[in-house]
Structure 1
Amino acid sequence: MISRRDVIGGAVGGAALLAAGGAQASGDDAALKALLDKLAKGGPAAQRLAALKAFSPVALSPAARLDYDAVLSAFTTEDEIVRRFPFGAGASSPYVVTTRSGAWLKAVEAAKSGDATADTVRRLDAETARIAEDAARGVILPAFVIDKVAAGLAETATAVAATPDLAAALGRQREALIALRSKAGKGIGVGRFKDGEAYYALLLKAAIGAEITPGQAWDRASAAAKALTARADTLLKAQGMSQGTVGARLAALSRDERWLYSDDAAGRDRLIADMNAWLAKAVSRLPVSFATIAPGSRAVSMSRMSPADEAARRQGYREAPSFDGSKPGVYYADLNTIRTRPSWTLPSVVHHESVAGHMVQMPLEERSGAHPLRTRLAFPGFSEGWAIYAEQLAAEEGAFAGDPLAELGYLQWMLFRVGRLLADLGVHLKGWGVEKTTTFLNDLQGPPPVFSPVSQGIERIAIGPAASAGQGLAWLELVRLREAARKLPGSGFDIRAFHDAVLVPGPLPLSMLRARVLGASARG
């Protein structure tokens, strides 16, 4: 049984990293924090791991020991990735240059400052050399991404034409990528690489902090998608919509004028008022499922953006509340294309972005005192996975009872979540290309409920394998863990204690979380 007492009781050079590990005097918490602060600055994976292993955790407090064990787990996986697969940007991406990474993205800024120009040229040429080295191992950017990066490099070179050395380095990188395009093939996943499935399995492990085979992930995600699709089909038929894929019917429903807001100030104010009404109900339900509730989780609201942000077409964003509520939490909704936000899609946004999603999890993470390195590496998919789990929790609590359209909105969001997981697995495990992935997502979910096109999501999956999968798996694994805890003999399962076990210590690798919740019964 999970009890409250169990929960609550419970770029640096290699030489510098090793020296930091040996600087421990008594093994106390302050010494560990100093070491983790240094390790957070970067460095070779093997040397970061060695530095941490050189630190004795014997005298640490229970909370600091969580930091140590969680970061050690993450570093061990990272070291295995870069040791077995020495290409790309370490454990974050198999590609050193993409549309979202590389020195080229800061070239204009470097040209303006002048001081950074020489260093940027060196970085560009070093990356160009690494592109060639990786290509010799069969690691080449997908062709459609090469086209985007090459276009960006050309545009950037033109912008810095007054700095010839920088423009020339950008040109060399562009030429190197274009020369590789014919060798990229039609595939976009890491299955093209030697031992690609083993590489992808390690990336999944890094994303959730536990062993899982890509095949297991596929089976679990497929089962979830099947159940969600069946429920959506039932509700759509009850609305008189029985023809076409679930995605096509959701697309038609999203265009129904009855559920759309007017594209003016009055429409935007009404939308925000509707979201705050859902939020008030979500806050009132907190004691049903949570024992430890941050005061800040009650001091939350949904809001319009400032006129300047709206004019700049800024995407939706949140300001997390502090634990004590002295800093309130606010989610600023993106209402630029308000006519694509039917009212029935909003409740799930509230549950994900505020309560019981991010604005319940983040204040408790703050209070846990978890070191930022643990928070970042232990279970990268955890925060987003918790927020997806919170959407499901709202449905289980009866948030959508008697409101089939709101439930359909929830189902569309969940199909979007599981769709990204399946698309990630499909691209990297099953060899899906852009066209197949696009068709799959459109048929499954209809128009994406987020304000980014399907093509952008596919690009992110291609250049950041396992990142989207990690978020979806985090949700599914939290549900599996809960159900396993519920079945423990004589557990007297209490969902409020379970949520404490998951949230109060701060993010932990899934393997550690399983052990804390299930004890000797923990298994994959």
Structure 2
Amino acid sequence: MTTRRAVLAGAAALALLPGRDRAEGATVRTALDAVEAKLGDPQQALALLDRIDPRGLTVSQQLDLGTARAGLRADLAIMAARPLTPALLLRRKVGDGIDPAAATRRLETERRRCAARADRLFARLGVRGTDTGARFSALWHDPRYQFADSAAALADMNQWLARFRAALPTLIGQVPLYCLNVRASAPTSADLASGHLGYRTLPTPTTAGGYVPDFARLADRPSFSLPSVVAHELLPGHMIQMPLEAAADPHPLRLRYTPGFGEGWGIYAERLVADAGFYALNPAAELGYLHWRLFRIGRALLDLAIHGDGLSLTQARARLVAWHGEPAYFAPFDADLARIQKDPMTRAAEMLSALSIEDGALGRTGQRLARYHHMLLANGRMRSDELVRRAAALT
């Protein structure tokens, strides 16, 4: 959680800032390292970074520098704020110029759109209920969508992965071949003994990568819920974005001030697959995608409502039950709401980052869309306002 105290912490380390001559001769990375070590005084940290001329820097260095400057300016505003508001936290975690009220309206519009689409699909399948959440619950417990065992679930994930992998040139554009060297894998005996499940291993030019799903409660993972997991965790999701970001090596300050981008890309990847028509003949799989999307939209809406409007956790829980019925596998309602209460605007940042990426893709097809994806991925994450500026400059 970002608080005024957290921003102020560490001011005593200010004496370690390099002097003017040393700062002017330092590399961008060295200067950013120095700033990272003493975030307690954003004003002096900004003064240090303002001495760096961005001309001649690589794109990744420009993003490091610009993101650090924007984040530090947000920290300055947070230090002066009485009280600390959602708008300030969104400025810090997503980008400049975000109005929480407008964001709430946008999210609610998208929630209604997804719910209406889900209800049409439920009607096609003959699934009834008092609201969208009740219909999802009915589908969740339909034995037709249960796996016999975890091996069957894993095989199903890898079948979907093969389909998405084959379509990547159209979905994303060209990506390094090593990003394709991934699969969903069974846990090792050590994983099972330690309970270490639901984790990723990133591919490199010399090693394979993948995702080890958590099937400890297999009944809670109906078959229709897994295609979007594949899109999010594997391809075209994190197994492209995260290895390329690792290669770009963004400074930790860029990661600090863009926490929602990585998850935003995963959410975008889910929609990219759905919009491409992969579920056109499989309404249950499309419902699985819509459940994941409603889960993430709901998180964002409640993050804004709890911290901006004083919505109680009891009221928030009732909305989740009505909106999507069943919790995401890793996020039981009560535990997830407790996290949202403790860490304001993190879940909103994730979904708003996804919407920012989706907005930039609107109207782009073919090579124009591929160039947009390259801009997003080649040099690591960026803030939403930076994304808008760079997207507008693309041909």
Fold shared per TM-score above 0.5: yes
Instruction: Write the letter of the residue equivalent to 1:284.
Output: A
Alignment of 1:213 onto 2:99: yes
Instruction: Write the letter of the residue equivalent to 1:39.
Output: V
- 1:438-458 C-alpha deviation (Å, 9 max, x unpaired): 000111111112223111111
Instruction: Write the letter of the residue equivalent to 1:345.
Output: S
8 Å Cα contact 2:168-2:174 kept in structure 1: no
2:117 to 226, 231, 238: 231
**Structure 1: how far apart are the matches of 2:350 and 2:278?**
23
Matches within 5 A, 1:487-502: 494-502=368-376
How many residues align? The count is: 384
Measured after TM superposition, the shift of residue 59 of structure 1 is 5.0
Tell me the percent identity: 33
The equivalent of 2:219 in structure 1 is 339
Instruction: Write the letter of the residue equivalent to 2:381.
Output: P
Alignment of 1:503 onto 2:382: no
Alignment of 1:368 onto 2:368: no
Cα gap change, 1:244/1:22 in structure 2, threshold over 3 Å: closer, same or farther?
farther
Measured after TM superposition, the shift of residue 62 of structure 1 is 4.2
Measured after TM superposition, the shift of residue 395 of structure 1 is 0.5
3-state SS of paired residue (2:184): strand
Instruction: Write the letter of the residue equivalent to 1:14.
Output: L
**Structure 2: how far apart are the matches of 1:455 and 1:237?**
30
Structure 1: tracts of 5 or more residues without a match: 1-10, 86-194
Select between 342-351 and 206-215 the one with higher mean Cα deviation.
206-215
Alignment of 1:37 onto 2:36: no
3-state SS of paired residue (1:432): coil
8 Å Cα contact 1:418-1:472 kept in structure 2: yes
Measured after TM superposition, the shift of residue 39 of structure 1 is 2.6
3-state SS of paired residue (2:280): coil
The equivalent of 1:90 in structure 2 is none
The equivalent of 1:48 in structure 2 is 45
Select between 276-285 and 252-261 the one with higher mean Cα deviation.
252-261
Instruction: Write the letter of the residue equivalent to 2:90.
Output: L
Instruction: Write the letter of the residue equivalent to 1:368.
Output: A
3-state SS of paired residue (1:14): helix
3-state SS of paired residue (2:22): coil
Measured after TM superposition, the shift of residue 41 of structure 1 is 3.2
- 1:35-81 C-alpha deviation (Å, 9 max, x unpaired): 22233334314233333224344453444223211211111112211
RMSD: 2.2
8 Å Cα contact 1:208-1:380 kept in structure 2: yes
Instruction: Write the letter of the residue equivalent to 1:221.
Output: L
**Structure 1: how far apart are the matches of 2:109 and 2:334?**
25
Measured after TM superposition, the shift of residue 252 of structure 1 is 1.5
The equivalent of 1:400 in structure 2 is 279
Instruction: Write the letter of the residue equivalent to 2:33.
Output: D
**Structure 2: how far apart are the matches of 1:510 and 1:494?**
19
Alignment of 1:258 onto 2:144: yes
Higher RCO, 1 vs 2 (CA within 8 Å, ≥6 residues apart): 2
The equivalent of 1:516 in structure 2 is 390
Cα gap change, 1:218/1:320 in structure 2, threshold over 3 Å: closer, same or farther?
same
Structure 2: tracts of 5 or more residues without a match: 1-9
3-state SS of paired residue (1:24): helix
3-state SS of paired residue (1:331): strand
Cα gap change, 1:260/1:465 in structure 2, threshold over 3 Å: closer, same or farther?
same
**Structure 1: how far apart are the matches of 2:394 and 2:196?**
48
Alignment of 1:385 onto 2:264: yes
Cα gap change, 1:423/1:25 in structure 2, threshold over 3 Å: closer, same or farther?
closer
**Structure 1: how far apart are the matches of 2:177 and 2:367?**
25
**Structure 1: how far apart are the matches of 2:328 and 2:383?**
29
Measured after TM superposition, the shift of residue 345 of structure 1 is 0.4
**Structure 2: how far apart are the matches of 1:445 and 1:492?**
34
- 1:446-500 C-alpha deviation (Å, 9 max, x unpaired): 11122231111111111111000000111111112222x64xxxx9972111111
Select between 303-312 and 283-292 the one with higher mean Cα deviation.
303-312
- 1:408-430 C-alpha deviation (Å, 9 max, x unpaired): 11111111111101111121222
Matches within 5 A, 1:279-358: 279-322=161-204, 324=205, 326-358=206-238
Matches within 5 A, 1:149-188: none
How does the TM-score come out when normalised to structure 2? 0.91
Task: State which structure, 1 or 2, has the greater radius of gyration over its C-alpha atoms.
Answer: 1
Measured after TM superposition, the shift of residue 280 of structure 1 is 0.9
Measured after TM superposition, the shift of residue 242 of structure 1 is 2.8
The equivalent of 1:459 in structure 2 is 338
The equivalent of 2:5 in structure 1 is none
How does the TM-score come out when normalised to structure 1? 0.69
8 Å Cα contact 2:228-2:270 kept in structure 1: yes
- 1:299-334 C-alpha deviation (Å, 9 max, x unpaired): 001012123322443341111222x2x122110100
The equivalent of 1:156 in structure 2 is none
